[in-house]
Amino acid sequence: MTEDSQRNFRSVYYEKVGFRGVEEKKSLEILLKDDRLDIEKLCTFSQRFPLPSMYRALVWKVLLGILPPHHESHAQVMLWRKEQYGDILHALKVVRFVSEATPLVEVYLRMYQLECGKLPRSPSFPLEPEDEVFLAIAKAVEEMVEDSVDCYWIIRCFVNQLNNKYRESLPQLPKAFEQYLNLEDSRLLSHLKTCSALCKLPYDLWFKRCFAGCLPESSLQRQVVWDKVISGSCKILVFVAVEILLTFKIKVMALNSAEKITKFLENIPQDSSDAIVSKAIDLWHKHCGTPVHSA
C-alpha cells in the first residue's frame, strides 16, 4: 500500500470513529513539508476539511498567490511584500491621506485604492459601494490575522479574487439560492415570493461580502466558509444562505413583508452561526457531492 493510500485509509477510519481533526492536521502538515507546495492538493484539502487555525494564514497566502509554491522563496517574497506595504503606506502619509490615528481597515482601503489607481481626490469623498464591501471584509480579516502586512495582502488578494475570478459567478448566486431553497423547502420559497421578498434579500451582505458583518467576526465557522471560497468554491455561500432561511423558517414565515424579512436576515442571532455553517456544509455535500478544488 502506498503512503498516499495509507493516509487516505487512515483519514476515512479516523473520521468514522469520531477523531476528526488530528489526522487532518497531520495530512496537511505532510502537504506543507513538500519542497514545492502542491496547489491542487492544498485546494482539495481546504475544500474537504477546515484548515487548522495555526496554518490558515499560510495556506491562504499560498492559495491567494501572495506566496509562491516554493518554500525557499517564502522569506524573500514576504520581505518584498513588507517593503511594498511600507512604500504604499509612506506615500499615503506624505499626501496626508492617512495618519497614525487612521483606523487600520481604512488605511488598508486607501492602500488598495492607491494601488488600483482609484484613490479619490480627498479622504472626505463619500465611499463607493465597492469600498464598503472592502471595509467589511477588511474588518473580518483583521479579527483573524494579527500581522498588519499579512492582513493587508490577504484582504487585497481576497477582494481581487472576488472581483476577478468570481466576477461572473457571484451574480449567479441569487438564482442558485432560489433553486436550492426550492429543493429544500418549496413552501418557504413560496412565502418569500408572496411577500415580494425574494428580490430584496441581503444578497450583497451574503455573497459580495461573504457574510462579513453577518456571521460574527470571531466565528471559526466563517473562517471555514472562507477556506472554501479561497480554495475555489464560492458556491458554498449559497448553502450558508439557504441554511439561514431553513434555521429561521418559523420566524421568517411569521413575517409578512419584504422589509421585515430583510431586516431580520441582516441581523440574525449571532449564537446560531456555528450550527448554521456546519449544516450548510452538509447541504453542500448533499447537493454537490464530495467537493474538489474547482467545485
User: Quick check: is 133 in a domain?
Assistant: no
SS3 17: coil
Please provide the size of the chain in residues: 295
pLDDT tens per residue across all 295 residues of the chain: 444 444 444 444 444 434 456 678 899 999 999 889 999 999 999 998 889 989 999 999 999 999 999 999 999 999 999 999 999 999 999 999 999 999 999 999 999 999 999 999 999 999 999 999 999 999 999 988 999 999 999 999 999 999 999 999 999 999 999 999 999 999 999 999 999 999 999 999 999 999 998 876 555 567 889 999 999 999 999 999 999 999 999 999 999 999 999 999 998 887 788 889 889 999 998 998 765 544 3
Largest CA distance in the chain: 65
Q: Comparing C-alpha atoms, which of 141, 143, 178, 180 is closest to residue 162?
A: 141
Q: Comparing C-alpha atoms, which of 185, 204, 187 is closest to residue 266?
A: 204
User: Quick check: is 180 in a domain?
Assistant: yes
Q: Comparing C-alpha atoms, which of 169, 167, 190 is closest to residue 178?
A: 190
User: Quick check: is 175 in a domain?
Assistant: yes
Q: What is the pLDDT of residue 63?
A: 97
Under 8 Å CB-to-CB from 34, ≥6 apart: which residues? Answer: 71
Q: What is the pLDDT of residue 16?
A: 42
Q: What is the pLDDT of residue 257?
A: 95
Q: For residues 185 and 252, what is the distance between their CA atoms, to the nearest angstrom?
A: 13
Q: Comparing C-alpha atoms, which of 160, 293, 287 is closest to residue 232?
A: 293
Domain with residue 268: its CATH number is 1.10.472.80
HSE of 60, CA atoms in CB hemisphere, 13 A: 30
User: Quick check: is 131 in a domain?
Assistant: no
Q: What is the pLDDT of residue 6?
A: 45
Q: Please, is 90 exposed, middle or buried when counting C-beta atoms within 10 Å of its C-beta (0-12, 13-18, 19+)?
A: exposed
User: Quick check: is 235 in a domain?
Assistant: yes
Q: What is the pLDDT of residue 15?
A: 45
Q: What is the pLDDT of residue 294?
A: 41
Check: CB of residue 213 under 8 Å from CB of residue 39.
no
User: Quick check: is 225 in a domain?
Assistant: yes
Print the domain residue range for 263.
Answer: 166-294
Give me the helices (H) in 21-103, please: 22-32, 39-48, 53-63, 74-94
Check: CB of residue 215 under 8 Å from CB of residue 236.
no
Cell 414565515: give the residue.
Answer: 253
HSE of 73, CA atoms in CB hemisphere, 13 A: 13
Q: What is the pLDDT of residue 195?
A: 96
User: Quick check: is 219 in a domain?
Assistant: yes
Under 8 Å CB-to-CB from 266, ≥6 apart: which residues? Answer: 202, 205, 214
Give me the helices (H) in 95-128, please: 104-116
User: Quick check: is 205 in a domain?
Assistant: yes
Q: What are 77's three cell numbers? A: 517574497
**Structural domains of the chain, count:** 1
Q: Please, is 258 exposed, middle or buried when counting C-beta atoms within 10 Å of its C-beta (0-12, 13-18, 19+)?
A: middle
